[in-house]
Amino acid sequence: MRTPFLFLVQPTKGMDMRVNKQKLVLVGNGMAGVRTLEELLKIDATLYDITVFGAEPHPNYNRIMLSPVLAGEQTLDEIVLNPWSWYEDNHITVHAGRKVVEVDRVKRIVRAVDAQGDVVEAPYDRLLLCTGSSPFMLPVPGKDLAGVIAYRDIADTLTMIDTARTHRHAVVIGGGLLGLEAANGLMLRGMTVTVVHVNAWLMDRQLDRVAGDLLRKSLEERGLKFRLGAHTQELVGNEDGRVKAIRFKDGSEEMADLVVMAVGIRPNVGLAESMRLHCDRGIVVTDTLQTVTDARIYAVGECAAHRGIAYGLVAPLFEQAKVAANHLAEMGYGRYVGSLTSTKLKVTGIDLFSAGDFMGGEGCEEIVMNDPFGGVYKKLVIKDDKLVGACLYGDTVDGSWYFRLLREGLSVAQIRDQLMFGESIPHDAGQPHA
Amino acid sequence: MPVNRMPEPTVRQPLPTMTDTRSTCPYCGVGCGVIIESEGAQITGVRGDPEHPANFGRLCTKGSTLHLTASAAVTMQTRLLQPMQRLQRGSAAASVPWAQALDVAADRFARIIADHGPDAVGFYVSGQLLTEDYYVFNKLAKGLIGTNNLDTNSRLCMSSAVAGYKKTLGSDAPPSCYDDFKDAQCLFIVGSNTAWAHPILFRRIEDARRANPAMKIVVIDPRRTDTCEIADLHLAIQPGTDVMLFHGMLHLMLREGWTQPAYIARHTSGFDALERTVRDCTPDQVAKVCGIEPSALIEATRLFANSPSTLSLYCMGMNQSSSGTAKNAALINLHLATAQIGKPGAGPFSLTGQPNAMGGREVGGMANLLSAHRDLANAGHRAEVAALWGVADVPAAPGKTAIEMFQAAADGEIRALWISCTNPAQSMPDQATVRRALERCEFVVVQEAFATTATCAYADLLLPATTWGEKVGTVTNSERRISRVRPAVPAPGAARHDWSAVADFATRLEARLPRRAPGTLFPYTLDDPAGAQAIWNEHRETTRGRDLDITGLSWALLDTAGPQQWPCPEDQATGPATGPATGRSLGKARLYEDGVFATPDGRARFHNAAYQPVAEARDERFPFSLNTGRLRDQWHGMSRTGTLGRLFGHVPEPLVQMNGQDMARLQLGDGDLVQVSSRRGALVLPVRASTEVGPHQSFIAMHWGEEYLSGQSSSGERIAGVNALTLPVFCPDSKQPELKHAAVRILKAELPWSLLAAAWLPADRLQATREALRALMARFAFASCVPFGAGGALQGGAAERSGVLFRAAAYEAPPAALLMEIEALLGLASDETLRYADVRRGQRRAMRLVRNASNAQEAQLEGFLLAGDTRAEAWIKTLLLDQLPAQSFGRQLLRPGATAPAGVAARGKVVCSCFGVTETAIATTLRSGTGSESERLASLQAGLRCGTNCGSCVPELKRMVRMTASEIASTPVPVAATA
């Protein structure tokens, strides 16, 4: 079936008719890029003729809400951020379902092809690369079997939903944020799910061991099964080439009609590299999100490497978008200096929050509270009288307060003893209770 | 409050299977009769013996809980059950068979005696031993070994009274009896907190006052104790000025012509010299020295001299003094000068501190005495005793008294010590010296019922002894009344009667020493009541013709006719009683009725001694007087009472009391830690403002030894409790040390890091846990470790619920491992424990919540630990102790600070421990009460039943009634934070 989406927006009345208006081309119709456009339009809607290329045949949707969709808590329509009408209203040319294959930085032309191989070209004055990232697939035998997928986009989500109708056993490789959300969704859709994780505890990049173990306990209570510290040897297929089991280095096996790999993401830098842009764990950008190689070209989002970090979370992308838009709008004073990230798990009924340097370490002091009675664990990491990390499980009410303290980097020496008990704690008069 | 649904303790119906055994209470010198209820080998209950003439069925808070101290759990965890030998000091003791243990002891003693002579060994025994135990000890030391180095803790207790009696009346015999209370028109209570130290006597005083409202009561005590509640007049004299007061009174009597010249002329000698001495003791001079109003002095003198009958009751305030003998004698002087003696309701009546200090002296169990009140100094007496024992002679050289004995051991002069039934490492003054003595001494034998006393740690040999409910023999109480002590249950483990073990040792030693007599000196059937009776009969024979002649008595007679007073010579007694003779009095109730005294010339002697101030006066460097004394619900070193949480309801933790003005001046608040230091040692403990103590004075209960209150001194040693401070200076005549006064400095202790941990514990682990925690006390600059109990009425072993509370402070947070050790001991190392930890700030909090078995919605706090910031104690401790529902608090339990997230009202300290009635309940009830004080007290007792059983708390209730009357109804309710 033919990819239907092609809009060529005609000039209409009232539209700015300035000649030689600058051309801005966005590669990647995702959250980072579209947010950048939104920020830009807020500042000046008339500055550019905007063209958008998107590989997915969808308008921009909220990728991080795929989990609720999988869990059946939301529908696809509900997670669309910018319906087609939005592009129309903002006079943006969209090439959805068209993959950019080449960029000529000399002639400043973007060249894309659609499913049929028809070529579309668009010239640019400024180019915004938001190619995002791709799931990393474990290089194990059988990774190409049918029923072995990643968890990245609507297509993956729909595959899981369909498979859940027809099959029993799911294995999710990767006990991180995404993996657990996938596992939870599949379980809610009636599959028996085993989460395979190579490390000793879940979400080891967001939680310390205590919190990780608490998380595992409560997920186990919900019916998930776990194989921690398990190394995948291979994926075993059946005669019609569909996965049927996963085999571990220790020789043991788990049945698997569906294997979801959520072991991390890799920035999509293929196009950038073909353009001879300097890449290192992402497209290397400056504090204005311009690529270090070509000042006309910006990179924002998971594909960009700023000060050596390519962020995989949504909050930093939005911060980058602000700065990039500021620069595109020729204001030029915005600077991006990196983001502090915080994590929440979108599994209903499980509250966890982590931010900053929650593992502590050299020169760090920990304040720890453990409430097995209420299933709550909190750890605050303090360095030089400043809050530098937090890891909360079971009660995340104060997460935002801690995150604020973290970002503001103010001294907590005065409130240290109350810190653990939340923002609302009145200062203690020290008088005996009568 | 679970007060009114509790069963009446005194009407507990004995079960058919239950055996009743008549015996006596092992605590104070009142010598109350108890009926021990037992089932098989287990003591199950205790009640007052309605037929015993000391108490007529009443018991005090301590006596009525005796059975709880004999529970299986307490026995298993605290009793010494096997002979134990320690091959190296500081190492753990290993159990050995009796024969081996006694042979070891005999070998060591024999060798030391052979190498260094008989005076190189010493025996330090106890006023809590039975007469029979005492007798064998005395015979062993003076008869077999040939040393007079045998002294007892009565030296710290009664010896000034003894010396006072002998110097004036000629004999160590309290001339009065309890019945005199009802005949007295004026009671003169000096240096005695009778309300707390002799509660049952105080009940009798209250009865007498009720029967005779005209009776006047004067209390003389530097402290305003609960005893003052009943007083018409209280003279809060400066510590140690008693002699000046009494001389001043005599001065006034002479001036006013209130003396009885006729009596003085006919029955006394030495008055003229005394008259000259008191001439200078003018009222103004006395008022100045004693710090009292001249008017009060005159009133007191008038009451003493002009009342038809004046009875003075006195105790440690008089005795524990560097001029104790002079104090006793000066008071007796007044009785002689006014003829207030030898008639009903009159006389100088020394109240004995211990249950058998009297019996001990009767058998001559002191370094300066011989059997039956005979005197070592007297060659004739020595010969008599030698003849009675069938030995060539008894040593003439006076032996070392308590203080001298330990000094001698510290100097290496005494090389072997046998300590029985007492705890010198807790109770002796100047602990530094005592401990040096115990460490230096080559061979230390400790004969004990409890393995938990501080002294046990210094023993090379530990010998398990029987105790209350197991022992067989006799005791003599304050009024010269001999009561039988009968066993209700067999001895636990390998424990033996003290006399039995000593006699066994003595025969083994006999074989290793040169022969003293043809046969053995100790021909008693061991471990058999017959043996004890044989010893008593031998003792009885020694009294023939003496002032304490009891040849008219026998065990059979004591069984049929009940307890009897001495003297009771053969001719006087009507022989074996016929028919139901119980309660018949055979002995002499009152002495000197004929005005003939126990002196060669039959005349009482006035003692002429000038007033001497305290040995260690206050000065700039040590500006406070330290006084020590008893608590209402504790006994001595608390090896027994300390096992019961409920007895800590009245005074839960160690503290020093100060006058509010002094505290304000030093900017101290209630509960602040202070360092109390004297020239001999220092101590850290919390301070509390008290209206009982005057300015420049302070008070610490004598009970707080290192078993309950300790820490690490600046020089790194274990702090020895209250007697680290007291001084060893003693009275030249009685050799009794001045435990009642030391000059101390009191400064705020700067220990920023503090700890409070407490938990409910099962009975079978409570004592062991406390012992384990006790071992950790020396790891902190300050630490105290006490049990606590659930409130509620006294209702027997099963229902008792107890826990342990550990408090400490230090300069900085200790290693986490130490705190984890404490948590583990208190059961806080559990999955149910809520925790908060900020290592850097030294903050650590742990709360153990446990869901109710019955109702899972409810949860209670079972234990907690607060480290660093312990202000939350104000409400957390209440949650635990009052067992309030805690589920709603959740993580808020871990919050710092003294303010509870929701209202937590404490019940306050327990005032009436029989019914577990608390301060708060009483205050609440009182605020709604109306009418006269006595009416309001009555309605209080009717409403809450407090003070209606043992009555020990009645004086306190009266005070609270008065206080509430004097206040407006807006009294703040006391809370645990300050209780």
State the pLDDT at residue A267. 95
What is the tens place of the pLDDT at every residue in B667-714? 999 999 999 999 999 999 999 999 999 999 999 999 999 999 999 988
Arithmetic mean of pLDDT, B166-184: 95
Please state, in angstroms and rounded to a whole number, the distance separating the CA atoms of residues B864 and B894: 10
Q: Which residues, at least 6 apart from A167, have a Cβ–Cβ distance to it below 8 Å? A: A147, A191, A257, A258
Q: Which residues pair with B433 in a beta bridge?
A: none
Share of chain B above pLDDT 70, in %: 94
Residue B199 pLDDT > 70, yes or no? yes
Q: Average pLDDT, whole number, for chain B?
A: 91
Which two structure tokens, joined as six digits, stand for A226?
């776990």
What is the tens place of the pLDDT at every residue in B73-131? 999 999 999 999 999 988 999 999 999 999 999 999 999 999 999 999 999 999 999 99
State the pLDDT at residue B632. 94
Residue identified by tokens 């023999």 is: B473
Mutation target for B interface from A213, A364, A373: give the one with most B CBs within 10 A: A373
Arithmetic mean of pLDDT, A245-272: 94
Instruction: State whether residue B895 sits within 8 Å of chain A by CB.
Output: yes
Instruction: State whether residue B857 sits within 8 Å of chain A by CB.
Output: no
Residue identified by tokens 């069963």 is: B7
State the pLDDT at residue B882. 86
State the pLDDT at residue B13. 52
Taking the CB of residue B395, how many other CB atoms lie within 10 A of it?
A: 18
Q: Average pLDDT, whole number, for chain A?
A: 89
Please state, in angstroms and rounded to a whole number, the distance separating the CA atoms of residues B364 and B358: 10
Give the long-range contacts of residues B384-393, CB within 8 A, separation 24 or more. Answer: B385/B142, B385/B542, B388/B541, B388/B542, B389/B139, B389/B143, B389/B517, B389/B521, B390/B517, B390/B518, B390/B519, B390/B521, B391/B143, B391/B144, B391/B516, B391/B517, B391/B521, B392/B516
- Which region among A375-384, B419-428, B935-944 has the lowest average model confidence (pLDDT)? B935-944
What is the tens place of the pLDDT at every residue in A107-136? 999 999 988 888 999 999 999 999 999 999
CB A420 within 8 A of CB B836: yes
Q: Provide the pLDDT confidence category of residue A8 given band limits of 50, 70 and 90.
A: very low
* Contact state of A432 with B892 under an 8 Å Cβ cutoff: no
DSSP reduced 3-state for B602: coil
Please state, in angstroms and rounded to a whole number, the distance separating the CA atoms of residues A72 and B376: 103
Mutation target for A interface from B832, B836, B839, B862: give the one with most A CBs within 10 A: B836
What is the tens place of the pLDDT at every residue in A178-210? 899 999 999 999 999 999 999 999 998 889 999
| Vertex B620 angle, CA B618 and B626, to 5° | 35
Residue A6 pLDDT > 50, yes or no? no
* Contact state of B896 with A417 under an 8 Å Cβ cutoff: yes
Phi, psi of A129 (to 5 degrees): -95, 115
DSSP reduced 3-state for A99: strand
* Contact state of B840 with A365 under an 8 Å Cβ cutoff: yes
In whole angstroms, what separates CA B753 from the centre of its chain? 34
Residue B396 pLDDT > 70, yes or no? yes
Mutation target for A interface from B878, B891, B920: give the one with most A CBs within 10 A: B891
What is the tens place of the pLDDT at every residue in B80-94? 999 999 999 889 999
Do the bridges between strand A297-299 and strand A258-261 make them parallel or antiparallel, or are there none, so unpaired? unpaired
- What pTM was estimated for this model as a whole? 0.87
Eight-state DSSP code of residue B862: E
Q: Return the top range by mean pLDDT from A396-410, A417-431, B385-399.
A: B385-399
Question: Which residues in chain A have their CB less than 8 angstroms from residue B876's CB?
Answer: none
Cα R_g (chain A), whole angstroms: 24
Question: Which residues in chain B have their CB less than 8 angstroms from residue A374's CB?
Answer: 890-891
Residue B580 pLDDT > 70, yes or no? no
* Contact state of B895 with A376 under an 8 Å Cβ cutoff: no
* Contact state of B904 with A418 under an 8 Å Cβ cutoff: no
Cα R_g (chain B), whole angstroms: 27
**Higher-confidence position of B286 and B923:** B286
Question: Which residues in chain A have their CB less than 8 angstroms from residue B671's CB?
Answer: none
Q: Provide the pLDDT confidence category of residue B579 given band limits of 50, 70 and 90.
A: very low
Which two structure tokens, joined as six digits, stand for B361?
């002296």
Question: Which residues in chain B have their CB less than 8 angstroms from residue A434's CB?
Answer: 972-973, 975
Arithmetic mean of pLDDT, B358-370: 92
How many beta-carbon contacts under 8 Å exist across A and B? Answer: 87
Residue identified by tokens 């002196």 is: B599
Residue A70 pLDDT > 70, yes or no? yes
Taking the CB of residue A17, how many other CB atoms lie within 10 A of it?
A: 8
CB B194 within 8 A of CB B202: yes
Taking the CB of residue B213, how many other CB atoms lie within 10 A of it?
A: 6
**How far is residue A12 from each of residues A9, A17, A24, A90, B66, measured CA to CA in Å?**
9, 10, 19, 12, 104
Phi, psi of A317 (to 5 degrees): -60, -45
Please state, in angstroms and rounded to a whole number, the distance separating the CA atoms of residues B236 and B156: 23
Return the sign of the alpha-carbon dihedral for residues B563, B569, B572, B576: positive
Residue B400 pLDDT > 70, yes or no? yes
Please state, in angstroms and rounded to a whole number, the distance separating the CA atoms of residues B529 and B500: 10
Arithmetic mean of pLDDT, B316-339: 97
- Which region among A407-421, B218-232, B922-936 has the lowest average model confidence (pLDDT)? B922-936
Arithmetic mean of pLDDT, B640-650: 93
Name the residue facing A368 among B837, B897, B977 (closest C-beta): B837
Residue A291 pLDDT > 70, yes or no? yes
**How far is residue B286 from each of residues A271, B312, B403, B616, measured CA to CA in Å?**
110, 20, 32, 20
State the pLDDT at residue B796. 52
| Closest residue by Cα to residue B807 from B833, B770, B856 | B770
State the pLDDT at residue A410. 87
Cis peptide before A432 (omega within 30 of 0): no
* Contact state of A370 with B835 under an 8 Å Cβ cutoff: yes
Share of chain A above pLDDT 70, in %: 93
Residue B303 pLDDT > 60, yes or no? yes
In whole angstroms, what separates CA A230 from the centre of its chain? 25
What is the tens place of the pLDDT at every residue in B34-73? 999 999 999 999 999 999 999 999 999 999 999 999 999 9
- Which region among B224-228, B262-266, B935-939 has the lowest average model confidence (pLDDT)? B935-939
What is the tens place of the pLDDT at every residue in B476-530? 999 999 999 999 999 999 999 999 999 999 999 999 999 888 889 999 999 999 9
What is the tens place of the pLDDT at every residue in B667-680? 999 999 999 999 99
In whole angstroms, what separates CA A29 from the centre of its chain? 14
State the pLDDT at residue A424. 59
Please state, in angstroms and rounded to a whole number, the distance separating the CA atoms of residues B63 and B36: 11
What is the tens place of the pLDDT at every residue in A155-180? 999 999 999 999 999 999 999 988 99
Residue identified by tokens 């002095």 is: B297
Please state, in angstroms and rounded to a whole number, the distance separating the CA atoms of residues B63 and B67: 9
Please state, in angstroms and rounded to a whole number, the distance separating the CA atoms of residues A23 and A93: 11
Arithmetic mean of pLDDT, B842-851: 92
Residue A314 pLDDT > 90, yes or no? no
Do the bridges between strand A386-393 and strand A376-383 make them parallel or antiparallel, or are there none, so unpaired? antiparallel
Residue A429 pLDDT > 50, yes or no? no
Annotate B521-538 with three-state secondary structure.
Answer: CCCCCCCCHHHHHHHHHH
Q: Provide the pLDDT confidence category of residue B412 given band limits of 50, 70 and 90.
A: very high
